[in-house]
Structure 1
Amino acid sequence: MNVIELSGIGKSYGDLKVLEDVNLKVREGETLGIIGPTGAGKSTLLRIMDLLERPDAGEILFHGENVDNLKPLEVRRRMGMVFQNTPVFRGTVTGSILYGPGVRGERPNESEVKEVLELVGLEGYEYRKTHELSGGERQRLALAQVLINRPEVVLLDEATSSLDPISRSRMEEVISGLDVTVIFTTHDLLQGQKLADRIAILNHSILQTGSPREIFTKPASRFVAEFVGARNILSGRARVTGDGISIINCDGISIYSSEKARGDVSATIRPEDITVSWQRTDSSALNQLRGRVVAVRDSGSLQQLEVLCGGETLTVHMTRKSLHDMGITTGSSVWIEFKASAVHIIR
């Protein structure tokens, strides 16, 4: 079941068009990451979902009902939002948590407050003064202020971006443990991979939705490919053979893909799907290219080779041990190979 559905959402501020034809469905119980560059409209979209702002165009459904037919305050009370720097109230932690329910005419008991504090990792902080809290603790308190109201949907707008690495990691642990529908915005791809069941790539409109693996292995456009850090993006002209295999003529090389395409296309190959050898091997891989290593870079646990094949430079990942055992250095003449199924075509 979908908790929130957005259809054709548009929003402008004067001549600045922030959102255009945004279509998105949020499933009940999932954690959805809305990821995009700075200025992509992420915060505006979240504020529209929370009914803090009205779109200029489009329709919002909450549990299948158009929000125009519902009372905005009642809908908002079924959701809770944490901002990048959410203000907390002066006084004690408990007082800050109880403020929201008090406005609603509710009074959670002591055990409910303790339960929420344990959930966000602030157990024992009941009587701590809020001005004594660190930045990370304040953000977790802000989340506790939302959770005490038992929302159906929790919205997090760059809620960890201003935190130090340790505080961010602790906040991520809390978010991943929430048993509620969560929608968060971030420009951090690694955080999106870590926390999200599904990812929506936003750049004024939704460019692609899918699981983190789908987004990273099969980007739907060149923008998405570049944004998620695809290393090998080749452009060329494709045709389909009688065997149903596509041949893409690039700059000085031709590569094969199991995906059918014709005309001008882009193609991506993940560096970890490419193997290196000194000689051409007797392999089932259709793509076997001779090249020259033009750079070797240390990227942590893996070594990154840049191999020039024809006029295209392909990035290959190798372990440090494999590189050492093979004795590959800058200037080495090698063969690289990869399967046709490893070539994803972007139309």
Structure 2
Amino acid sequence: MLYQLFFIVFCLTVTTYGENEGESCAGTCTDIWGCSSAILDIVSGQDLPPCTGPGNEHLVCCMDNGAPTEDAATVDSNQCEPVSAELTSPKTGQKAWDKCIEYQERFVYPCQKTAAGTARGNNCFNQFSISTRIVEGTDAEAGEFPHMVLLGYGEDIPTVKFLCGGTLLSDRFILTAGHCTFTKDYGSLTYAASGILQRSEVDESKVYKIKRIIPHPDYKLFAGYNDIALVETEKPIALNSRAFPACLDVGKESEHQKAIATGWGSTENYGDPAPTLQKVTLTKFSDDVCAENYEEDGFLVKGFNSTTQICYGDETTSKDTCTGDSGGPLQVQNKHVSCMYTVIGVTSFARACGFAGQPGVYTKVEPYVPWIESVVWP
């Protein structure tokens, strides 16, 4: 995609002349890298309206400037044209899938008021986030993973121990791991923090008291199976362009050899928690390799279960999730719904973290979608 962008920018530079930066066209003359709608046009194969003058390179006629921004007033989606068919998919009647489409309409391409009436905004971020490389991870950026939640234990917000991650599914429900619902040292989950990038951003305006903890009915403490749970907050979580739900894998995603794990966990085995949300791209291990790494024992009495578990890690480097990443999502960029992540797994456990060739185990989301739907969208 980057090659395509550079090629088109080069063509614009050498073949066209027009207005200067900041001058009016159908929109405003803007550097291509500052115009998200222009980048979307490139990705979808559409022609760009050039806007280049002598001494001013890489300008396009950007429809973002003077159009809605993420701070503009949002109105009912029915007041705007539908999201382009190239960027979305039809609803099917399945609750989890239809909610994915709804969240994209509301938060990625929201219907907003403009001086000329209403238009679809563009808050797309992760479409163009390239995670090349949590152990051996990199810092995420603000708004890159708007569904991420930090989960904590304790009675007073200033002293809460935030030790697990989770995924926003709605304004009241969060997906996490079953083993995150209770700790020996700190008891049950009590708080969830949403819309944050750094641990230092946690304050009362972004922290929500947990009302109800719902482990999967087949989850058992000190066992490695069905390690998945839902938590419900006492009051609705404030949703916006920096904090909104992810999609769930409902079977439309094919097998992914690469997936992204995110969390605020340790960046090395037995290390300190990360101050900033980390992201790392992991590689899928075959079921046979997973079974070899996770044989029958007291924790996995039947060994690795390929129906409800998946393994990801790295064959040659120490890329991995680690302590404190538990409950967070394993996700892929949705091929059918632009700028939305699909959660395919929940970070569960590993023998150790940060060792090449030793994958971590993730609870596979798809088999649990009917249960999730029955709780979150009954």
* TM-score in terms of structure 2 length: 0.21
Larger helix fraction of residues? 1
Structure of larger gyration radius: 1
